[in-house]
């Protein structure tokens, strides 16, 4: 049985002197004081309360009481503190900490290798800071981590295959300077949310995309430098709700297997070089709330797509090559369709596609 309580922001309450009878709190005191000494600026005075040995009264520190192991630090939340400093190796002393939330501060440098010893840590939020260097692979060695948020930092270089092998539920890597190709094992990830937006990834979306368990709810590739086709296997993610590949250089026709995305709410394909007709099967998706195909080279759509407005679906098809529609590209731009010779893997006779047999069809299409 655990009882969780947070620091009150001062030294009110019972004072623990030395914590000699509680080695976990004594280690927490050592860790937090070492960290405090590495802080350069604390504009909101959050760490003013980090005085004395009773760490459970420190602002942003959450303690838990256990009848088995006594009182221990269970989490730290310093979100939106504007704190400037670095992370210190002594944080590994917080063996029972399950969450570390440092969103919207000014922490910089790299992630200490010692963090791999945080066996209880399940949530690590380092977003909106100034961390830099290559992908912090040490975070993937934290044994029980489920939530990894590295958004809005200065990380650069490729991301390792191992990020998609780890049992993570959320992988949030957007708004960094990651580059190179997206690892081919993307589809092996059990995550429900994957955000790779606003980086510098190049190459194709991995061909295995979609060949995995259907637990993915959101995947965002927007604003990278991706090329090639949208893989046919996208249709296997029957639980997908958000799919955003806008602001890339994808070409070819939209696969009809998109029609298998029965739960899709946001489908953003804008600002690419996609062509062909927008399939009826896509516009018939019942859960659609937002469909954007603007700034592509689509040549038409049928009455089913025209009915989207009556369903209160936000449908944007501006700047394409659709005859008789307003706000389309000038005719000269439509004379040369980008990627006209691009060969994408497609299942023949997709008009009568049965989503239940999609996996079988895909397997038979591959040697």
Domain range list for the chain: 1-157, 198-367
User: Using an 8 Å Cβ cutoff, are 71 and 93 in contact?
Assistant: no
Distance CA 142, CA 118 (A): 6
Distance CA 222, CA 272 (A): 10
Distance CA 19, CA 251 (A): 64
Whole-number pLDDT of residue 234 = 87
Query: Coil, strand or helix: which one is 132?
Result: strand
Distance CA 167, CA 154 (A): 25
Distance CA 5, CA 99 (A): 14
Distance CA 180, CA 195 (A): 16
Contacts 24+ apart (CB under 8 A), 107-111: 107/83, 107/131, 108/84, 108/132, 110/136, 111/87, 111/136, 111/138, 111/139
Pairing of strands 249-253, 266-268: unpaired
Query: Coil, strand or helix: which one is 120?
Result: coil
Pairing of strands 61-66, 2-6: antiparallel
Query: Coil, strand or helix: which one is 21?
Result: coil
CA proximity to 140, closest of 157, 158, 165, 120 = 165
Same fold, 1-157 and 198-367: yes
Query: Coil, strand or helix: which one is 279?
Result: coil
340 DSSP 8-state letter: T
Whole-number pLDDT of residue 20 = 56
Collect all residues with Cβ–Cβ distance below 8 Å to 132 and sequence separation of at least 6.
108, 109, 110, 153, 154, 155, 156
Distance CA 331, CA 322 (A): 10
Give the CATH H-level superfamily of domain 1-157: Ribonuclease Inhibitor (3.80.10.10)
Collect all residues with Cβ–Cβ distance below 8 Å to 149 and sequence separation of at least 6.
103, 124, 125, 126, 127, 170, 172
Question: pLDDT tens track of the chain, all 367 residues?
Answer: 344 455 543 333 333 334 557 999 999 999 999 999 999 999 999 999 999 999 999 999 999 987 677 899 999 999 999 999 999 999 999 999 999 999 999 999 999 999 999 999 999 999 999 999 999 999 999 999 999 999 999 999 999 999 999 999 999 999 999 999 999 999 889 999 999 999 999 999 997 766 666 689 999 999 999 999 998 888 888 899 999 999 999 999 988 889 889 999 999 999 999 999 998 889 999 999 999 999 999 999 888 899 998 899 999 999 999 999 999 999 999 998 887 667 675 544 334 455 655 555 555 554 4
CA proximity to 221, closest of 261, 181, 188 = 181
Tell me the pTM: 0.89
Distance CA 237, CA 216 (A): 7
Whole-number pLDDT of residue 240 = 94
The domain made up of 198-367 is a member of CATH 3.40.50.150: no
The H or E element containing residue 74 is strand 70-77
Distance CA 279, CA 351 (A): 9
Greatest alpha-carbon pair distance for the chain in Å reads: 81
């Amino acid at each position: 049985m655990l009882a969780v309580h947070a620091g009150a922001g001062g030294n009110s309450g019972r004072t623990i002197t030395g914590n000699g009878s509680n080695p976990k709190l004594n280690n927490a005191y050592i860790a937090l004081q070492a960290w405090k000494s590495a802080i350069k600026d604390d504009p909101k005075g959050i760490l003013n309360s980090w005085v004395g040995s009773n760490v459970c009264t420190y602002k942003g520190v959450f303690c838990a009481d256990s009848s088995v192991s006594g009182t221990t630090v269970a989490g730290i939340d310093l979100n939106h503190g504007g704190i400037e400093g670095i992370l210190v190796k002594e944080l590994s002393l917080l063996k029972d900490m399950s969450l570390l939330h440092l969103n919207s501060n000014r922490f910089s440098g790299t992630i200490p290798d010692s963090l791999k010893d945080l066996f209880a840590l399940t949530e690590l939020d380092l977003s909106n800071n100034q961390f830099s260097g290559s992908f912090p692979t040490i975070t993937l060695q934290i044994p029980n981590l489920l939530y990894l948020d590295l958004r809005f930092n200065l990380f650069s270089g490729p991301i390792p295959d191992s990020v998609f092998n780890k049992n993570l539920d959320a992988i949030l890597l957007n708004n960094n300077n990651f580059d190179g190709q997206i690892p081919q094992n993307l589809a092996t990830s059990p995550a429900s949310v994957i955000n790779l937006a606003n980086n510098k990834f190049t190459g194709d979306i991995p061909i295995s995309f979609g060949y995995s368990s259907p637990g993915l709810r959101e995947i965002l590739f927007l604003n990278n430098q991706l090329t090639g086709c949208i893989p046919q296997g996208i249709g296997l993610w029957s639980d997908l709700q958000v799919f955003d590949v806008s602001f890339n250089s994808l070409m070819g026709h939209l696969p009809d297997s998109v029609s298998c995305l029965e739960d899709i709410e946001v489908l953003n394909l804008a600002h690419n070089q996609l062509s062909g007709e927008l399939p009826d099967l896509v516009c018939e998706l019942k859960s659609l709330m937002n469909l954007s195909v603007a700034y592509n080279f689509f040549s038409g759509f049928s009455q089913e797509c025209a009915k989207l407005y009556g369903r209160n679906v936000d449908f944007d098809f501006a700047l394409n090559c659709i005859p008789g529609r307003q706000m389309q590209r000038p005719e000269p731009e439509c004379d040369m369709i980008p990627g006209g010779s691009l060969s994408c893997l497609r299942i023949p006779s997709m008009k009568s596609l049965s989503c239940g047999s999609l996996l079988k069809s895909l397997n038979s299409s591959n040697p």
